[in-house]
Amino acid sequence: MKASFTDQRRLLDLVDADLAVRQADHARRNPEQAARVKQLLAERATHSAELTRRLGTRDDAKTELSRIQSDVAVVVARTQRDNDRLASTSSVKDAQGLEHEIASLARRKSDLEDSELDVMERLETAEAAVAEQEALIASVNEEGARLSAEAKAAVADATSRHEAATRDRAAIASSLPADLVALYDTLAARGNGAGLLHRRTCGGCHMVLSGTDLNVVRAAAEDDVVMCPECGCILVRGEDSGL
């Protein structure tokens, strides 16, 4: 294939444009915040499961406290009833029975109040644990929201750069011979499309050409399109090619 020296040199601009397109595309598909956001989602799931457990512990304590308080209310009501009956009875036997029951109710009330204090302490601890876990989840959500906003902005910027690089690439390609661009695209699809031959080194694969290979390149006309014997890319020659 033949192509002018100028057109071959312009292939390096196409290489740069393709690189810019790939980099922008990678940036928009893989914002640097994405890994941390994914990690935060996993952390939030773990923290939420722990919150559910702590809420269960708190609710169990509330239920137990409510039951104890209900039992205390029953004991108080029965004690009041027995006191009223004791005050109105004239039977010694009935009075003794009521006094015995009132004493039993007093012990029952004391035991219930001790249990109530214990449960209230456990409830206070459980509520503090719930509040701590909720604060942790709120912190994770805050960081996640901030990083998501940053990622959205980064994707928008990368998308803008990708669109600009794509336009630049199209402009460069349209200014070159179609057959040269087609060859470049075919080679680029497999690896390196073109590379500058600098000091006997291919800019595509960075391999130093042997003396025999250099002689072949040296013998080619300026408008001949030559390939790297190592990677197969188009070798773009210049003043510092070492020929």
Rounded CA-CA distance 79/51 in Å is 42
Do 225 and 11 form a contact (C-beta atoms < 8 A)? no
Strand, coil or helix: what is 194? strand
Rounded CA-CA distance 201/210 in Å is 9
Whole-number pLDDT of residue 95: 86
Give the end-to-end CA distance of the chain in Å, rounded to a whole number. Answer: 20
As averages over each run of 10 residues, the pLDDT of the chain (243 residues) reads 94 96 95 94 97 97 97 96 90 88 94 96 97 97 96 96 97 96 95 93 93 91 93 92 77
Residue type, 7: D
Rounded CA-CA distance 29/121 in Å is 52
Do 48 and 137 form a contact (C-beta atoms < 8 A)? yes
Nearest to 24 by CA among 172, 127, 188, 165: 165
